[in-house]
Amino acid sequence: MIEKLRELTGSSIYDRSISEADGVTYFLARRGAEKLVGFVGKGAVNADKVGELDGEPVCVGPTNHENALAIRKALGWTGPKVVGLSTSAGLGDRMGLATPGHVRAIRGSGVVPFFAQQSIREMTRTGRSPEEVMDCATWGVLQEGWHDGFGSDADHLQQIEDIDRTVAAGFTMFTIDPGLHVNNDADELDLSALKAKYAELDFRLLEMSAEQLMSNYLKEFDLSGGSKVAFDEPAFLRAAVKYGNAIAHTVKMFRHLKEVSIDEFELEVSVDETESPTSTAEHYFFSAELKRLGVEWISMAPRFIGRFEKGVDYIGDTDAFAASFAEHVAVMRTLGPYKMSIHSGSDKFSIYPIVTEIAEGLVHLKTAGTSYLEALRAIAAIDPALFRAILDFARDRYETDKATYHVSAELAKVPAASELQDSELAGLLDQFDARQVLHVTFGSVLTDNSGETFGNKILAALRAQEEAHYDAIQRHLARHIAPLAS
């Protein structure tokens, strides 16, 4: 069949993509740099007939949004699902080409992947839409014949309209980010200032009086495993002032999501992008209040101790992290269970075994930028001149683009392209400072409009040498997945 399809379509056929549903055979093909979806029989996609096979029409059409919708309907496994408490990993794809590499990295691990994952912030910076993110995952899943299911994460949603856009695109998990409503000054306020800030909270939104809320917490609570968490007045006020408004915003977002969602969905709550760590008491307060107010969630990302900087390993004392993480897990087991979500999780190799063992698999790992970096590693081999231009452009953009990221790279430690031999370029992707400079400038690189864009050049190079790209992705992401599967 494959040989006949090649002849009829004038295309190469992705062998793993050949699938049958309701008597129709579907497949993905490649003609030059263009990918096409096809079928044998009376298929659902919009396509033109190119011949016949055993008396059945053979048709091929574009891999566009209309056909992605049709494929998801015809082949249910090419669309996302809710994942529940299974160990999982988000594998963000900022350019829409990485999913086949992600499939290869996770195949056989037992870890459930989230192939469609992108934040509104990232979509804005790359000029992508929620529909495009979803469609690219669908085509990658079809190409690799991944039948084992995957999740989709509308990441770091802060506004009601973000929910509406991503619900319409078919996402199944929604990560609510109430970080703008967190009071980061709470850790530094004295008791008098905390009392004043507490009085300013909108208790109408919290659906309880100030007096009753405080009364509920001025005590000691038993945690799973025999530990305890206690609230005196300062500890309670600090938790309430820091997270009270964030809780109210999360409740509003969740209730809106329930109103507009047609299908089953799951929720993640994230406060990882705040300035100070989330204490055990603060985690307990946040979760207990969400539970009281009827919010249902599948995973939570507190702000852990140490530094979770972009594109590099965990920075901090891993023993101290393990002890603190165990306290967070005790809260999770008491008020859940739900998964502990590790944000900015790319390349945190020193803590993957820790979180997997302590949480006993109730973990969701979130990665994104590391796949972009591995695409650049492939570019360094495929087109050294292009990589050099990107490197110098990223060096120029770093001081501006780093503003919204937790990074500590020193630009002076990143060599200019002229200082490097071609054989040294890929090695930059293993160097701390260079990784961060290249990581946080992705938006500027992919949307640069000075002449022919870097984004177009990168996409063209990766499409021309897609196996080199997939190999780089697979090698690197497999290192993330293996500890979760153990």
Among all residues, which ones are annotated catalytic? 155, 268
Pair of tokens at residue 354: 């820790």
In the three-class reduction of DSSP (H, G, I as helix; E, B as strand; rest coil), residue 383 is classed as coil
For β-strands 34-40 and 24-31, DSSP reports them as antiparallel
In the three-class reduction of DSSP (H, G, I as helix; E, B as strand; rest coil), residue 472 is classed as helix
**Residue 397 Cα to chain centre, angstroms:** 24
Cβ neighbours, 10 Å, residue 486: 11
User: Any idea what DSSP says for residue 279?
Assistant: P
Cβ neighbours, 10 Å, residue 254: 21
Residue with tokens 């047609």: 262
For 336-465, where are the alpha helices, taking DSSP H only? 352-359, 369-382, 384-401, 422-425, 432-440, 442-447, 454-464
For 65-190, where are the alpha helices, taking DSSP H only? 65-74, 99-106, 120-126, 130-144, 160-168
For β-strands 299-301 and 339-342, DSSP reports them as parallel
